Amino acid sequence: MKDISHLISIKKKMVVPLLFIIMFSYFLFITCIAYFPEFLGQQFFNSTISYGIVFGFLLILIIFIVTLVYVFLSNKYLEPEIKKITS
Amino acid sequence: MNIIAVSLFLLFVFVTLYITYWAAKQISNRDSFYTAGGNISGFQNGLAISGDFMSAASFLGISGLVFATGFDGLIYSIGFLVGWPIVLLLIAEPLRNLGKYTFADVASYRLQQRPIRTLSALGSLATVSLYLIAQMVGAGKLIQILFGLPYDLAVYIVGGLMILYVTFGGMIATTWVQIIKAVLLLFGATLISILVLYQFNFNLNQFFSTAVQNHELGSKILNPGGLIKDPISAISLGLALMFGTAGLPHILMRFFTVKDSIQARKSVVYATGFIGYFYILTFIIGFGAIILVGSNTDYLKPNGGLIGNNNMAAIHLAHAVGGDVLLGFISAVAFATILAVVSGLTLAGASAISHDIYANVINSSNKNEKKELFVSRIATIFLGILAIFLGIIFEKQNIAFMVGLAFAIAASTNFPIIFLSMFWKNLTTRGAFLGGLIGLLVTIALVILSPVVWVDVFHFTEAIFPYKYPALFSMTTTFFFVIFISLSDRSSQAIKDKKGFQEQFYRSITGIGIEEGKKH
């Protein structure tokens, strides 16, 4: 077995922040729902669309972007490292 | 009965049976039956995964929930979606690098085969059966309304076709049925949404304000309502949805159908994109139904309420914006959706029986690939008949808790075992087996004692366990017992278990050894 500590540290640097973004934004969303439903009901600028809907749609976007970023980073940093070890 | 719906559905059945015939010719061994030989691309797998998630229950159920309560429907959608980055960041790659056919391959990689496979199979079968019952009952009722067929006959048709697809076509047919259905459903939902928004010149502000004027709750549909009342329930539901996805056997199995971890990653990105897009559509469809269905007496019962029930909101809306043609199309797609989802579930259940229980627990000394393939086909037929039988028994029962329970078990039994076996070197066989078993029993007990079963099914006045969602408690229980028992395990097996971690972890990250694993 070759030394993979460098590979593991790259992977950690990618996974931990992205995991944090997901956990933080999702639990923020859930907490707002449980504690501040009125705030989420307020209207966004002068429209009928509420903060809750904007937050929700934004969260869907964040979730998708996180998966996209992870694959982008994997191809750029992780895969070359893995290739070095497997070849 | 809608002629267009029936003919489109028959066309779908004809095409999928032809695919099954084509797939059957290619199925020569276990690889092709369980995982389509690992030849599915990341894009195809992403579509198939999104197909597994875009069930009739989530299409009709979430749009129905949005129709009834507005914003609250979005809470569910986001909960279902947020499991995907977790799957991607934590388990997709190691899963692909370590496993072959079932997640038990991964869980038992360095542990003792028999106890861990038995536990994993138990977790898989529990999740799959609960899901199957919910799908079958939903299917029977839906088809009853859409096509005017008797409930029992509808259940027979769904069960029968599913047995044909899976028994003969295995994962190849199941995947293609899932892909075709996902494309049809995405197309149909997009079409309805565009036709709805077209009526408002794509002005979202006007769209939402008209919905507010039309709904009896008024502007309350734009803020959170009664779905989540206290923070404990909020966190508990959040945990179940977040980590439940990472413990669903039929989803995990899909990662073995691609060739390597690069494709496994890609699958998740495509799946997340499609599912997220789909949930946005269900939200628009729900609000569209508030405007165009909720105020149109054609779709209402004389004493109020939708014809059928709230779950028919999307179907009625299809009629309102696209007439009989779109109604027929969406009905046929809903039928197809049910078929595809139950096929995926049954295949996951059958592989747990044949690959885990039969080949590695009962008959582990005498490995015979041909026999295992035969057993998996028998298991498929058995599960299919069981699903029909349970579908008929549970027709008049309150089954609202079943998908929640499936997610709770997935999050509290399957996920901890998979996660700890991948990342925690001190996990031992005894810890995983006993801790997992305790977790499974505690989850089931908490759900039974909770309001969703104790009050809603057994009709007691007060629940013994006050929260609707047990995951916060059951997940911590499992993690606690698995870790505690592992740490106190001084057996000789424990030393072997820990010793195997280094090699397993190396393979889980680099993928070295994966080719050999595939051929086996």
Nearest chain B residue to A24 by CA: give it: B82
- d(C-alpha B414, C-alpha B120), whole Å: 7
Count of domains for chain B: 1
In this complex, do B231 and A33 lie within 8 Å of one another by their Cβ atoms? Answer: no
Cα of B73 vs its chain's centroid, Å: 18
Q: What is the pLDDT of residues B319-352, one digit of tens each?
A: 999 998 999 899 889 888 999 999 999 999 999 9
Whole-number pLDDT of residue A4? 86
pLDDT band at B226 (very low <50, low <70, confident <90, very high): low
Which is nearest to B182 in space by CA: B273, B245, B249, B317? Answer: B273
Report CA torsion sign: B37, B39, B45, B48: negative
Residue contact B269–A67, C-beta within 8 A = yes
Q: Which residue type is seen at B284?
A: I
User: A37 CB near a chain B CB, below 8 Å?
Assistant: yes
Question: Using N-to-C axis directions, what is the helix angle for B113-147 and B402-409, rounded to 10°?
Answer: 160
**Residue B43's CATH number:** 1.20.1730.10
Interval A51-62 mean pLDDT? 92
In terms of CA atoms, which chain B residue is nearest residue A50?
A: B222
- Tell me what ipTM this predicted complex has: 0.94
3-state SS record for B125-147:
HHHHHHHHHHHHHHHHHHHHHHH
Q: Which of B209, B238, B510 has the CB atom closest to A86's CB atom?
A: B510
Instruction: Categorize the per-residue pLDDT at B48 as very low, low, confident or very high, splitting at 50, 70 and 90.
Output: very high
Which has the higher per-residue pLDDT, B223 or B472? B472
What are B293's two structure tokens?
A: 């269905």
Least confident of A28-42, B82-96, B276-290, B443-457: A28-42
| Domain limits for position B458 | 3-519
The model's confidence at residue B424, banded by pLDDT at 50, 70 and 90, is very high
Q: In angstroms, rounded to a whole number, what is the distance separating the alpha carbons of residues A81 and A77?
A: 7
User: Torsions phi, psi of B399, nearest 5?
Assistant: -110, 15
Q: How far is B231 from chain A (nearest CA, A)?
A: 6
The chain B residue lying nearest A1, using CA atoms, is: B506
- Looking at per-residue pLDDT, the higher value among A29 and B367 belongs to A29
Give percent above pLDDT 90 in chain A: 49
Give the nearest partner residue to A48 out of B77, B84, B208, using CB atoms. B208
**What would the mean pLDDT of B491-501 be, rounded to a whole number?**
92
Which chain B residues are closer than 8 Å to A8 by Cβ? 509
What confidence tier does B1 reach under pLDDT thresholds 50, 70, 90?
low
Half-sphere exposure (Cβ direction) of B487: Cα atoms closer than 13 Å:
7
A18 has a chain B CB within 8 A of its CB: yes
CA distance B250 to chain A (A): 21
Q: Testing the interface with B: which of A20, A67, A74 to mutate, by most B Cβ within 10 A? A: A67
**Nearest CB to B268 within list A8, A19, A67:** A67
Interface check for A55 against chain B (CB to CB < 8 A): the answer is: no
- Which one has a higher pLDDT value, A28 or B228? A28
In this predicted model, what pLDDT tens digit does every residue of B372-381 receive, in sequence order?
A: 999 999 999 9
Q: A38 in contact with B at a CB cutoff of 8 Å?
A: yes
For chain B, say whether A10 makes contact (Cβ under 8 Å): no
User: Which residues in chain B are closer than 8 Å to A59, comparing Cβ atoms?
Assistant: 78, 82
Q: Where residue B401 falls among pLDDT bands split at 50, 70, 90?
A: confident
Contact between chains at B272 and A48 (C-beta distance less than 8 A)? no
Q: Is the Cβ pair A4, B510 closer than 8 Å? A: yes
Contact B507, B94 (CB under 8 A): no
- Residue B518 pLDDT exceeds 70: no
**Contact criterion met (CB < 8 Å) for B205 and A48:** yes
pLDDT, chain B, mean: 90
Nearest Cα residue in chain B from A9:
B509
For residues B223 and B94, what is the distance between their CA atoms, to the nearest angstrom?
40
- The minimal CB distance from A64 to the residues B212, B224, B273 is found for B273
Tell me, what's the pLDDT at B515?
58
pLDDT for the residue B520: 40
Q: How far apart are CA B166 and CA B158, in angstroms?
A: 12
pLDDT at B483: 97
Q: How confident is the model at residue B479 (pLDDT cuts 50, 70, 90)?
A: very high
CB-based contact A22 B86, cutoff 8 Å: yes
How many C-beta atoms surround the C-beta of residue B328 within 10 A?
22
| Strand partners of residue A50 | A43
In this prediction, residues A44-51 reach a mean pLDDT of 79
Q: Nearest residue on chain A to B74, judged by CA atoms?
A: A56
Q: Write out pLDDT tens, residues B123-182.
A: 999 999 999 998 899 888 888 888 888 999 999 999 999 999 999 999 999 999 999 999
Cβ–Cβ of A31/B231 closer than 8 Å? yes
pLDDT band at B5 (very low <50, low <70, confident <90, very high): confident
Is B480's pLDDT higher than 70? yes
CB pairs under 8 A between A and B: 141
Residue-level pLDDT at B286: 94
Task: Tell me the per-residue pLDDT of B249-306, one tens digit each, with 9 for 90 and over.
Answer: 999 999 999 999 999 999 999 999 999 999 999 999 999 999 999 888 888 888 778 8
Give residue B519's pLDDT. Answer: 43
Kindly report the number of other CB atoms within 10 A of residue B89's CB atom.
22
Enumerate residues 6+ apart whose C-beta is below 8 A from B194: none
- The helix/strand/coil state of B464 is coil
Compute CA B15 distance to the chain's CA centroid, rounded to the nearest angstrom: 24
Measured distance CA(B419)–CA(B94) in Å, rounded: 10
